Structure 1
Amino acid sequence: MRVELQAAYVLHTRSYRDTSLLVEFFTPQHGRISAVAKGVRASSKLAKQKRSLLQAFKPLLISWGGKSDLKSLFHIEALASSYALQGERLFSAMYINELLSRLLHSEEDSEDIFYLYQQLLSQLNQQEPVDIILRRFELSLLECLGYGIELQSIADSGEPIHAEGHYQYFPEQGFRPYHGSQAVLNSFSGADLLAIAAQDFQPAARAAAKRLCRQVLGFYLGSKPLKSRELFL
């Protein structure tokens, strides 16, 4: 099957054989695609031009084909310049690329997530605090993947979460009342949960949202650590 002129972003590249690259693309209609970009590491001027397009955060149009999971890249062109991200904003975008590489299914419609990703890159290019941009994306990504977090009601009973209460989070279940006298890693105040649900990211809710998203994403990512987190450290 051959797919023509699909919007795409590069998530990851690595060397493949002598002169090629193995490229992981993110596309709206086909999700995550792995393709061989043949000869782009050669020394010719044309190879260098093609290789220069295979950069993260650059809007692309690509064509590919093949019956196996590893496709052949036939065509690539730039739709616009790369997003000029630096420092923390660059590292944050790299972290999101790794999340998508780990969590997206291959060749599965991902239009909603693709739109969120475009929004994310645009927002990272502006002045809003990075952690708020990331939390919004992470929560929306989990929702799109079917792993959404119910922040306003208790697991099983469906009773509402109250601002004055305290709750523990359990993966794939949700929140249950917590009556302990000391805070534990997976416990959260009802006020913070309701603020996160309303995307009212005041300082306490921002810290709680980061802790919650790390726990939820960690469950679905498994034990293999994210390499991009090392960049933050």
Structure 2
Amino acid sequence: MNAVDGEPAWVLHARPWRDTSLLCELFSHGHGRVGVLARGVRGGRGGRRALLQPFRPLLVGWRGRGELPTLGAVEPAGAPLALAGEALYAGFYLNELLCRLLPRQMPQPPSLFLAYRESLGRLARGTVEPALRGFEKHLLEQLGYAYRFDRTADDDAPVRPGGRYRLEAGVGVLPCLPGEPGCSGEVFLALAREEWRPEWQGEHRRILQAALEPLLGGRPLRSRAVYGALRRLAGDRRRGRAG
């Protein structure tokens, strides 16, 4: 990789690098996840430093060989998305997933870039759980884990709405043995259709996060813990008002 100009991208994460620079993780349309050094941008209030924020569509360029090229021109490609509260932490969760699961400088299908952009839009509109679950499912598919949630993995039988099933990560949907915890077939069929009903949110969350867990290598996501705590707090407040 020598020179790239005008590449659509989003900032996933940025942290200080030495005295005046930032190390930025980008998710780009044509190059996947890219780490770049933004030299000399710290301390300035305007220019590139102001643009290098998550949830803002950008056009960027970079120069150099190796794993950390130098950031060049940065231009806005649209207005920043106004994420706040639960949606903001959900957005950080998506960013951390991409940082953890995508290798640097490996191009990804354009559909993943589109799915990320659409998921951020759904977060901005307040549809948090459907945005997260839809993106998790799409990311698993792009990573080579396209589970068939409407068929069993052991004998390719159709999942029955009234049956009880569980997901075995890396294998697929399996019927539950007597006394074994699981979910109704209706929940798995809804997941296959990407039908994100509120009453199935908890089950869909547990199924997809169980599928992602082995890929994360047993290392917890910091954003997931914060988002979970925020969600529980919101639930406690709703129950308090109802009481």
Give the TM-score normalised by structure 2: 0.88
Q: Deviations over 1:144-182 (max 9, x none)?
A: 22112210111132111111211222111112211222x
Deviations 1:192-229, CA, capped at 9 Å, x for gaps: 11121122223442221011011111121121111112
Write out aligned runs for 1:132-211 (5 A): 132-181=130-179, 183-184=180-181, 187-211=182-206
The Cα of 1:143 is off from its aligned counterpart by 1.1
Q: What is the alpha-carbon distance in structure 2 between the residues aligned to residue 66 and residue 221 of structure 1? A: 30
- Whole-angstrom CA distance in 2 between matches of 1:135 and 1:226: 16
Residue 119 of structure 2 corresponds to which residue in structure 1? 120
User: Is the 2:9–2:57 contact (alpha carbons within 8 Å) kept by the matching residues of 1?
Assistant: yes
Instruction: Give the equivalent residue in structure 1 for 2:233.
Output: none
Instruction: Tell me, in whole angstroms, the C-alpha distance in 1 between the residues paired with 2:172 and 2:67.
Output: 35
Does 1:92 pair with 2:90? yes
CA distance, structure 1, for counterparts of residue 222 and residue 195 of structure 2? 30
Cα–Cα, structure 1 residues 139 and 224, in superposed 2: closer, same or farther, change >3 Å?
Answer: same
RMSD: 1.5
The residue that corresponds to 1:109 in the other structure is 107
Tell whether the 8 Å contact from 1:192 to 1:204 is kept in structure 2 after alignment. no
* Structure 2 CA distance for aligned equivalents of residues 73 and 220 of structure 1: 30
Q: Tell me which residue corresponds to 1:228.
A: 223
Match 1:216 to one of 211, 214, 221 = 211
The runs of 5 or more residues in structure 2 that have no matched partner are 230-243
Secondary structure in 2 matching 1:41: coil
Tell me whether 149-158 or 33-42 shows the greater mean CA deviation: 149-158
Deviation track 1:30-79 (CA, whole Å, cap 9, x = no partner) reads 00000000000145x6xx42110100011101111221111111111111
Are the counterparts in 1 of residues 87 and 126 from structure 2 also a CA contact under 8 Å?
A: no
Letter of the 1:123 partner, please give it. Answer: R
Task: Tell me the residue number matched to 2:236.
Answer: none
Asked if 1:50 corresponds to 2:51, the answer is no
**Residues 204 and 84 of structure 1: is their aligned pair in 2 closer, same or farther, counting only changes over 3 Å?**
closer
Q: Separation in 2 of the partners of 1:23 and 1:32?
A: 10
Q: For 2:7, what is the secondary structure of its paired residue? A: strand
Please give the per-residue CA displacement for 1:97-146, whole angstroms capped at 9, x wherever unaligned: 00011111222222111100110111112143x11221111111111221
In 1: Cα distance, 2:224 partner to 2:112 partner:
22
TM-score (structure 1 length as normaliser): 0.92
State the distance in 2 between where 1:114 and 1:100 align.
11
Number of equivalent positions: 226
Distance in structure 1 (CA, Å) of the matches to 2:164 and 2:96: 33
